[in-house]
């Protein structure tokens, strides 16, 4: 999933090979991750797609279904696309929150990041990209099955070398000993009771390092902010981020109005004599502008993001 | 409290002589950039303070403006929290009672404070600390006791900001630079808000080893933000379409080390399109057996854009130019140019408020690899809508989305939690998509 160093890249276009994860794109809201397998096959409403025909083609190509006639596109996976297709084992974070967290925590290549809980690994893939190639993401989850499923996914998606998954109850036990003394550059908490993890986060963070806590409920935010109001933390800020999307199409807008039974002449506005038009009988005129209109349904709330910095 | 560092080296978290810093004056009231050069100073209220004490200290340190016999000086606070902030504990009975007070009997006629401005000036000249001055003001205020606990805290905080302002030394980063400019000079960055910038970087899949093409007309903010995320691995090609390349001076605020700065290139659009077109023509020439339909001219030639003259230097010159003011070399090494021409860039970010997005897209999308994400930022939605419409009609991309980011900050305090009274109404719009191969 992540870019490789130039010297290790093949010359020319990136081609699909056996074992690759591809994102099969039907529509902006219909996508699916598929592992390319020799003699494998994908079936959907557009027909049958043998994997063998994908091998050797460039990412971004169009493939036509047999016995269906429709087509799909084979896209290269990115953390953003993965967030849209991954299997949900828990509620996940989406690109609006993910992008803001990474930017606000000032993650960069080489950063050491602590994440709790792993959940479905949505944020984790973006964290891995942010700290690659020399940093590391230590992610914790108290659910054994989910921790294992996440670990397997990280391996399959090629980020396993950047992510260590540990089964651990951070609320109860805090972060492991190895991080005490400010070993981490940043901490992210997505927990039911994040205030319980604050003291441990404080001892794991380096000076001027960042912490972020994501909570759906304002009561959780209040308790977390209270827990952060200690000498070890400063600059406590809480935000909400959302993204509104627009549908774009051409719309017909009429440019003639009917005033009584005649157009133009009997209206209040009288154009200058030479421009006065003869009444058009029954002739409607329109323009077709491109319009952008927000989609009627939009996300109202995901959670509050509370940030703070480890004091110097 | 001194933590050891993670994978980052220790000294990256200390200020160095001449480095750029972001000064946060009085808890976000004012933000200012400064370079810690020998005689640099900052004006806080009426006080001009030299920045010498700020060299060699950890980023995140807090200083207080104190008066002395030689004028105003910045003094580092060792335990800023205990000296400047009081924990807002509202547990005691007395505290609960003090919250229930209200202002019905308080008359605002400027007679409550018995200390005169003269008295305060005297205290300052004698070198009284901020804490001492505030205590004196509180003691001499007739109305202070009658205020609610919250009102008392607000009062003390106001007095502290006036008589003992604090300066927090922050390390410039994409987010903090963007936020500072958005607050004080948004036009320079095309009204790009920090959450929008964050969204651009994620949607464009920016990470180590990416080959990112950027059209940055936002002072260099996009170029710097990408370079920060690359950390010296991969490339950011900050291109230009005019005869004289637009400045990307903001890059100098980021204190990039040599390895990071060396991966920032400036190459003209005409050079990039010329190389890409030539490579693709050569590739097609190898594959084609019959005469193909006339290969179209690269969309960037002729009238569509002002073509920049070829860079004076021979592009086969191996030395590349890090961005250093006007001395930037406007080219890139042969191996990078060849790679970009044959593989295409892995993603594109456009921030050009005065260019038509569809014109830009037509010219620049062919420079990308297949299945490469691209994002076009614009302060207005209509031009992006029209661009999206064309891209759909011409089948040039999939996963097209026109997004409008929304951001709201909250004040979270016991019994006083609510969204901030002020809010930004717009942070611009983003058109995103992924290129495809129409074979």
- Tens of pLDDT, residues B275-315: 999 988 887 777 654 444 444 445 554 333 333 333 333 33
Task: Give the pLDDT confidence of A173-218 residue by residue, as tens digits.
Answer: 999 999 998 899 999 999 999 999 999 999 999 999 999 999 999 9
Contacts of B202 in chain A (CB under 8 A): 79-80, 95, 98-99, 102, 126
Question: How confident is the prediction for chain A on average, in pLDDT?
Answer: 90
pLDDT, average across residues A68-74: 88
Tell which B residues from 205 to 234 touch A, by Cβ distance under 8 Å. 205, 207-211, 228-234
Which candidate, B351, B247, B366, B346, places its Cα nearest to that of B304? Answer: B366
User: From CA A240, how far away is CA A53, in angstroms rounded?
Assistant: 45
State the pLDDT confidence band at B219, using cuts at 50, 70 and 90. Answer: very high
* Residue B47: φ, ψ to 5°: -90, 130
Task: Give the pLDDT confidence of B87-144 residue by residue, as tens digits.
Answer: 444 445 555 666 677 778 777 877 778 878 888 877 777 777 777 888 888 888 878 8
Contacts of B279 in chain A (CB under 8 A): none
Q: At residue B155, does pLDDT exceed 90?
A: no
Tell which B residues from 83 to 112 touch A, by Cβ distance under 8 Å. 87-88
Question: CB-based contacts of B314: which residues, under 8 Å, 6+ apart?
Answer: none
pLDDT, average across residues B172-192: 96
**What pLDDT sits at residue B296?**
44
The verdict on residue A260 lying in a domain is: yes
pLDDT, average across residues B146-164: 83
User: From CA B153, how far away is CA B156, in angstroms rounded?
Assistant: 5
**What pLDDT sits at residue B80?**
54
For B267-401, where are the alpha helices, taking DSSP H only?
A: 269-287, 334-343, 357-364, 381-393
Map tokens 């890090």 to a residue.
B322
Instruction: Write out the E strands in B135-217.
Output: 166-170, 210-216
Tell which B residues from 168 to 187 touch A, by Cβ distance under 8 Å. 168, 171, 173-175
Task: Give the pLDDT confidence of B369-409 residue by residue, as tens digits.
Answer: 999 999 999 999 999 999 999 999 999 999 999 999 999 99
The verdict on residue A142 lying in a domain is: yes
Task: Dihedral sign for Cα A131, A132, A133, A135, please.
Answer: positive
Which candidate, A135, A31, A11, places its Cα nearest to that of B434? Answer: A31
What is the residue range of A250's domain? Answer: 246-271+286-294
**What pLDDT sits at residue B6?**
39
Instruction: Write out the E strands in B120-233.
Output: 166-170, 210-216
- pTM attached to this predicted model: 0.88
- Candidate from B88, B173, B205 with C-beta closest to A80: B205
Closest residue in chain B to residue A243, using alpha carbons only? B405
Contacts of B80 in chain A (CB under 8 A): 234, 311
**What pLDDT sits at residue B172?**
95
State the pLDDT confidence band at A222, using cuts at 50, 70 and 90. Answer: very high
Judgement on whether residues A112 and A192 belong to the same structural domain of the protein: yes
**What pLDDT sits at residue B213?**
98
Judgement on whether residues A234 and A87 belong to the same structural domain of the protein: yes
Judgement on whether residues A199 and A263 belong to the same structural domain of the protein: no
Question: How confident is the prediction for chain B on average, in pLDDT?
Answer: 83
Task: Give the pLDDT confidence of A18-34 residue by residue, as tens digits.
Answer: 999 999 999 988 999 99
Contact A184 B410 (CB under 8 A): no
- Candidate from B209, B230, B413 with C-beta closest to A4: B209
Tell which B residues from 403 to 422 touch A, by Cβ distance under 8 Å. 403-414, 417, 419
Going along chain B from its start, the domains and CATH numbers come out as: 92-162 (no CATH), 177-435 (3.40.50.150)
Give me the CATH number covering residue A167: 3.40.50.150
Boundary of a domain, candidates A44, A77, A110: A77
Contact A78 B373 (CB under 8 A): yes
Q: pLDDT above 70 covers what percent of chain A? A: 92
- Candidate from A99, A132, A133 with C-beta closest to B198: A99
The verdict on residue A31 lying in a domain is: yes
| Structural domain count of chain A | 3
User: From CA B293, how far away is CA A269, in angstroms rounded?
Assistant: 54
Task: Give the pLDDT confidence of B36-78 residue by residue, as tens digits.
Answer: 999 899 988 888 899 999 999 999 999 988 887 777 888 888 7
CA atoms within 13 A on the CB side of B138: 18
Closest residue in chain B to residue A299, using alpha carbons only? B406
Q: At residue B322, does pLDDT exceed 90?
A: no
Contact A312 B402 (CB under 8 A): no
Judgement on whether residues A251 and A236 belong to the same structural domain of the protein: no
* Residue B269: φ, ψ to 5°: -65, -35
Using the Cβ of B6 and the Cβ atoms of chain A, whether some distance falls under 8 Å is answered with yes
**What pLDDT sits at residue B350?**
98
Task: Dihedral sign for Cα B324, B327, B330, B335, please.
Answer: negative
The verdict on residue A163 lying in a domain is: yes
Kindly state the tokens that stand for B185: 């000079």
SS3 A36: coil
The verdict on residue A167 lying in a domain is: yes
Boundary of a domain, candidates A77, A93, A116: A77
Judgement on whether residues A103 and A181 belong to the same structural domain of the protein: yes
Q: Is A176 exposed, middle or buried (0-12, 13-18, 19+ CB in 10 A)?
A: middle
A-B CB pairs within 8 A amount to 270
Contacts of B236 in chain A (CB under 8 A): none
Boundary of a domain, candidates A25, A42, A77: A77
Which candidate, A122, A93, A127, A102, places its Cα nearest to that of A210? Answer: A102
Q: Is residue A243 within 8 Å of residue A95, measured between CB atoms?
A: yes
Task: Give the pLDDT confidence of A253-312 residue by residue, as tens digits.
Answer: 888 887 754 554 445 555 555 555 555 555 677 788 999 999 999 999 999 999 999 998
The verdict on residue A148 lying in a domain is: yes
In terms of DSSP bridges, do strands B210-216 and B347-351 run parallel, antiparallel, or are they unpaired?
Answer: parallel
**What pLDDT sits at residue B287?**
62
- Candidate from A11, A60, A312 with C-beta closest to B436: A60
Give me the CATH number covering residue A8: 3.10.330.20
Buried b (16+ CB within 10 A) or exposed e, B45-67: eebebebebbbebbbbbbbbbbb
Contact A109 B232 (CB under 8 A): yes
Q: Is residue A303 within 8 Å of residue A224, measured between CB atoms?
A: no
Judgement on whether residues A127 and A235 belong to the same structural domain of the protein: yes
Contact A241 B1 (CB under 8 A): no
Judgement on whether residues A142 and A96 belong to the same structural domain of the protein: yes
Contacts of B425 in chain A (CB under 8 A): none
**What pLDDT sits at residue B305?**
34
Judgement on whether residues A163 and A33 belong to the same structural domain of the protein: no
Closest residue in chain B to residue A10, using alpha carbons only? B343
User: From CA B51, how far away is CA A255, in angstroms rounded?
Assistant: 64
ipTM for the complex shown: 0.92
* Residue A253: φ, ψ to 5°: -120, 125
**Following DSSP, what letter does each residue of B95-115 receive, concatenated?**
HHHHHH--STT---SS-SB-S
Task: Give the pLDDT confidence of A235-255 residue by residue, as tens digits.
Answer: 999 999 999 999 999 988 888
* Residue B336: φ, ψ to 5°: -70, -45
Judgement on whether residues A229 and A262 belong to the same structural domain of the protein: no
DSSP letter at B290 equals S
Q: Is residue B411 within 8 Å of residue B360, measured between CB atoms?
A: no
* Residue B273: φ, ψ to 5°: -70, -35
Contacts of A250 in chain B (CB under 8 A): 389
Judgement on whether residues A12 and A86 belong to the same structural domain of the protein: no
Q: Is A99 exposed, middle or buried (0-12, 13-18, 19+ CB in 10 A)?
A: buried
Task: Give the pLDDT confidence of B198-218 residue by residue, as tens digits.
Answer: 999 999 999 999 999 999 999
CA B397 to chain A, closest CA, distance in angstroms equals: 9
- Candidate from B408, B434, B436 with C-beta closest to A62: B436
Q: At residue B326, does pLDDT exceed 70?
A: no
pLDDT, average across residues B211-227: 97
Judgement on whether residues A64 and A138 belong to the same structural domain of the protein: no
CA A272 to chain B, closest CA, distance in angstroms equals: 33
Q: At residue A82, does pLDDT exceed 50?
A: yes
**What pLDDT sits at residue B4?**
36
Contacts of B407 in chain A (CB under 8 A): 239-241
Judgement on whether residues A98 and A217 belong to the same structural domain of the protein: yes
Q: Is residue B436 within 8 Å of residue A60, measured between CB atoms?
A: yes
The verdict on residue A281 lying in a domain is: no
Contact A294 B369 (CB under 8 A): no
The verdict on residue A278 lying in a domain is: no
User: From CA B212, how far away is CA B374, in angstroms rounded?
Assistant: 10
User: Would you tell me the crossing angle of helices B334-343 and B269-287 to the nearest 10 degrees?
Assistant: 60
**What pLDDT sits at residue B249?**
92
Contact B343 A294 (CB under 8 A): no
The neighbouring-strand residues paired with A293 are A247
Task: Give the pLDDT confidence of B353-373 residue by residue, as tens digits.
Answer: 999 999 999 999 999 999 999
Instruction: Measure CA of the first residue to CA of the last residue in chain B; give whole Å.
Output: 61
């Amino acid at each position: 999933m992540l870019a490789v160093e130039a010297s290790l890249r093949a010359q020319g276009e990136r081609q699909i090979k056996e074992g690759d994860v591809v994102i099969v794109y039907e529509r902006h809201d219909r996508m699916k991750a598929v592992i390319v397998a020799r003699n494998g096959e994908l079936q959907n409403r557009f027909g049958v797609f043998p994997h063998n025909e994908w091998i050797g083609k460039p990412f971004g190509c169009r493939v036509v279904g047999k016995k269906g006639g429709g087509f799909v596109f084979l896209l290269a996976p990115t953390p953003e696309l993965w967030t849209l297709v991954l299997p949900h084992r828990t509620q996940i974070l989406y690109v609006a929150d993910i992008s803001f967290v990474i930017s606000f925590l000032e993650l960069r290549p080489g950063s050491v990041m602590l994440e709790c809980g792993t959940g479905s690994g949505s944020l984790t893939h973006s964290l891995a990209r942010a700290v690659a190639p020399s940093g590391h993401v230590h992610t914790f989850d108290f659910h054994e099955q989910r921790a294992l499923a996440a670990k397997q996914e990280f391996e399959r998606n090629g980020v396993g070398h950047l992510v260590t998954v540990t089964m651990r109850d951070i609320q109860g036990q805090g972060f492991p000993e190895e991080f005490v003394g400010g070993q981490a550059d940043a901490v992210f908490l997505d927990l039911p009771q994040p205030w319980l993890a604050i003291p441990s986060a404080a001892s794991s963070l380096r000076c001027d390092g960042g912490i972020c806590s994501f909570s759906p409920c304002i009561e959780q935010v209040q308790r977390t902010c209270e827990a952060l109001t200690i000498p070890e933390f400063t600059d406590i800020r809480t935000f909400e981020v959302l993204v509104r999307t627009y549908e774009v199409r051409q719309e017909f807008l009429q440019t003639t109005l009917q005033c009584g039974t005649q157009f133009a002449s009997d209206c209040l506005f009288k154009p200058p004599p030479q421009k006065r038009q003869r009444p058009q009988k029954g002739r409607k005129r329109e323009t077709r502008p491109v319009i952008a209109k927000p989609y009627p349904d939009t996300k109202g709330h995901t959670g509050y993001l509370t940030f703070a910095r480890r004091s110097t | 409290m001194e933590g050891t560092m993670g994978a980052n080296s220790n000294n990256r978290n200390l200020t160095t002589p001449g480095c750029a810093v972001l000064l946060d004056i009085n808890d976000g009231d004012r933000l200012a950039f400064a370079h810690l050069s020998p005689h640099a100073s900052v004006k806080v209220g009426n006080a001009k303070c030299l920045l010498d004490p700020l060299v060699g200290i950890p980023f995140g340190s807090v200083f207080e403006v104190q008066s002395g016999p030689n004028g105003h000086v910045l003094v580092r606070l060792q335990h800023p929290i205990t000296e400047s902030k009081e924990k807002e504990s509202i547990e005691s009975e007395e505290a609960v009672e003090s919250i229930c007070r209200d202002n019905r009997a308080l008359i605002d006629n400027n007679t409550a404070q018995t200390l005169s401005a003269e008295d305060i000036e005297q205290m300052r000249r004698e070198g009284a600390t901020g804490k001492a001055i505030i205590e004196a003001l509180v003691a001499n205020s007739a109305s202070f006791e009658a205020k609610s606990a919250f009102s008392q805290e607000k009062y003390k905080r106001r007095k502290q900001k006036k008589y003992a302002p604090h300066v927090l030394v922050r390390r410039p980063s994409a987010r903090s630079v963007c936020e500072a400019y958005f607050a004080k000079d948004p036009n320079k960055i095309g009204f790009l808000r920090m959450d929008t910038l964050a969204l651009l970087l994620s949607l464009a899949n920016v990470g180590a080893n990416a080959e990112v093409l950027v059209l940055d007309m936002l002072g260099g903010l996009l170029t710097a933000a990408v370079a920060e995320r690359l950390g010296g691995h991969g490339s950011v090609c900050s291109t230009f379409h005019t005869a004289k390349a637009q400045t990307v001076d903001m890059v100098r605020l980021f204190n990039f080390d040599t390895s990071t700065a060396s991966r920032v290139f400036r190459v003209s659009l005409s050079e990039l399109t010329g190389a890409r077109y030539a490579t693709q023509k050569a590739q097609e020439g190898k594959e084609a057996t019959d005469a193909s339909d006339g290969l179209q001219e690269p969309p960037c030639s002729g009238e569509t854009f002002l073509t920049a003259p070829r860079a004076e230097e021979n592009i086969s010159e191996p030395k590349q130019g890090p961005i250093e003011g006007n001395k930037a070399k406007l080219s890139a090494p042969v191996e990078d140019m060849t790679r970009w021409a044959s593989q295409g860039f892995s993603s594109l970010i456009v921030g050009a408020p005065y260019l038509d997005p569809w014109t830009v897209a037509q010219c620049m999308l062919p420079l990308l690899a297949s299945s490469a994400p691209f994002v076009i930022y614009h302060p207005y939605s209509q031009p992006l809508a029209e661009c999206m419409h064309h891209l759909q009609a011409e089948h040039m991309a999939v996963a097209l989305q026109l997004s409008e980011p929304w951001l709201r900050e909250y004040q979270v305090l016991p019994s006083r939690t609510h969204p901030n009274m002020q809010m930004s109404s717009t942070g611009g719009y983003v058109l995103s998509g992924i290129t495809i191969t129409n074979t």
